[in-house]
């Protein structure tokens, strides 16, 4: 690295284009996701990364408000090399920025759902797609509202989780990270006939017509079978992707609010996601990373790798068009 090159580090600040990777020390600098440029100017961006640091809807351990920070920190290591197994720079032909975090007035919790909707509307109106870091899983509900409004409802849902999150809750003002998809189905935001939940291992008396590939099913089958089944269910419909990090077994993701034993390994999850190149992903989120309960960043690293693979999927799909 020359002296001139050294003056150009901290690409998050000085980067002039949303394209391309820039090698920087993994242990220093301002932390955007994968060293993308921080910007509120989304003109020309094809994918906007942002955080929603909200965890007031949890039923057990709080702390997911620190998830976006933790995922960005963990992503610095991934940004130091060409992503594996893709073998290409996803930012060469996909314009990605980090928008920062959605502002939330936590002292007025009932204003938060609309704040998230407006945050998403602003980004989606530019024509960009969203990759969002939670925060607890409640954030997916207002995000689905904005995406269904943009892309037409109902959407297909691809949902990785230990929990179905379809427990009944008919209170219009309830903030609950266990009932978002109950409400989303009731609201007509998602079509359960073309939606799939992967890794489930908690009981619910009513899965509301969703296709369930529970953790035991995933363990009995190889990852290619999971991909094939998801493709059969979803097809090429506009699909929203949501990954609750507690889909992973606590051995691979201890840093979360409601861990459940018997889950997927990180390797299984990444292998499945890498097979989704045929799916039409119109929005994505990764939620429930709670770094206070993490060990050696393994949960945040898993989330960052999932996010990187999602970006590579979009870049690959664009290149093949």
**pLDDT tens digits, 17-59:** 777 777 776 776 778 999 999 999 999 999 999 999 999 999 9
Beta bridge partners of 52: 134
89-115: burial string, b at 16+ Cβ within 10 Å, e else = ebbeebbbbbbbbbebeeeeeeebbeb
Q: Are 49 and 96 in contact (CB under 8 A)?
A: yes
Query: 214-266: per-residue pLDDT in tens?
Result: 999 999 999 999 999 999 999 999 999 999 999 999 999 999 999 999 999 99
β-strand 238-244 against 211-213: which pairing, if any?
unpaired
Query: 57-73: per-residue pLDDT in tens?
Result: 999 999 999 999 999 99
**Can you list the alpha helix ranges (DSSP code H) found in the chain?**
3-6, 11-14, 67-78, 112-124, 140-151, 180-186, 215-220, 223-234, 266-274, 298-320
Work out the average pLDDT over 265-277: 98
Query: 107-163: per-residue pLDDT in tens?
Result: 999 999 999 999 999 999 999 999 999 999 999 999 999 999 999 989 999 999 999
Query: 282-309: per-residue pLDDT in tens?
Result: 999 999 999 999 999 999 999 999 999 9
Q: Cα-atom radius of gyration of the chain, to the nearest Å?
A: 18
- For the annotated binding site for Mn(2+), the residues are 137, 161, 163, 165, 244, 246
Task: Check whether 13 has a pLDDT greater than 80.
Answer: no
Instruction: Please report the pLDDT score of residue 2 as a whole number.
Output: 45
Residue 245 CA to residue 265 CA, distance in Å, equals 11
* 167, burial (CB in 10 Å: exposed 0-12, middle 13-18, buried 19+): middle
- Please give the CATH architecture assigned to the domain spanning 42-320: 3-Layer(aba) Sandwich (3.40)
The domain ranges of the chain are 42-320
Instruction: Please report the pLDDT score of residue 25 as a whole number.
Output: 67
Instruction: Please report the pLDDT score of residue 7 as a whole number.
Output: 52
Instruction: Please report the pLDDT score of residue 1 as a whole number.
Output: 39
Instruction: Please report the pLDDT score of residue 265 as a whole number.
Output: 98
Place of tokens 């996010």: 307
Average pLDDT in the chain: 93
- For the annotated binding site, the residues are 137, 161, 163, 165, 244, 246
Instruction: Please report the pLDDT score of residue 193 as a whole number.
Output: 97
């Amino acid at each position: 690295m020359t002296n001139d090159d050294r003056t150009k580090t901290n690409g998050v600040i000085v980067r002039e284009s949303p394209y391309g990777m820039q090698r920087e020390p993994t242990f220093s600098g301002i932390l955007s996701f994968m060293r993308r440029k921080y910007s509120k100017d989304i003109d020309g961006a094809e994918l906007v990364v942002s955080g929603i640091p909200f965890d007031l809807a949890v039923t057990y351990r709080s702390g997911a408000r620190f998830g976006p920070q933790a995922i960005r920190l963990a992503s610095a290591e991934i940004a130091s090399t060409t992503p594996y197994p893709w073998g290409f720079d996803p930012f060469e032909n996909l314009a990605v920025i980090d928008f920062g975090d959605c502002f939330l007035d936590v002292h007025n919790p009932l204003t938060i759902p609309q704040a998230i909707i407006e945050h998403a509307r602003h980004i989606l109106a530019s024509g960009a797609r969203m990759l969002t870091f939670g925060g607890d899983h409640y954030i997916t509900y207002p995000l689905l509202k904005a995406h269904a409004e943009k892309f037409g409802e109902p959407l297909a849902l691809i949902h990785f989780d230990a929990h179905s999150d379809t427990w009944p809750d008919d209170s219009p003002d309830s903030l609950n990270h266990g009932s978002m998809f109950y409400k989303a189905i009731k609201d007509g935001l998602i079509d359960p006939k073309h939606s799939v939940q992967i890794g489930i291992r908690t009981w619910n008396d009513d899965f509301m017509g969703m296709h369930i590939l529970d953790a035991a099913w995933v363990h009995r089958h190889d990852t290619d079978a999971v991909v094939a089944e998801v493709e059969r269910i979803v097809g090429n419909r506009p699909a929203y992707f949501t990954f609750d990090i507690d889909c992973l077994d606590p051995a691979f993701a201890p840093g979360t609010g409601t861990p459940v034993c018997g889950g997927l390994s990180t390797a299984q999850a990444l292998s499945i996601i890498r097979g989704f190149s045929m799916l039409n992903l119109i929005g994505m989120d990764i939620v429930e990373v709670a770094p206070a309960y993490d060990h050696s960043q393994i949960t945040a690293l898993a989330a960052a790798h999932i996010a990187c693979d999602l970006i590579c999927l979009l870049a690959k799909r664009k290149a093949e068009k």
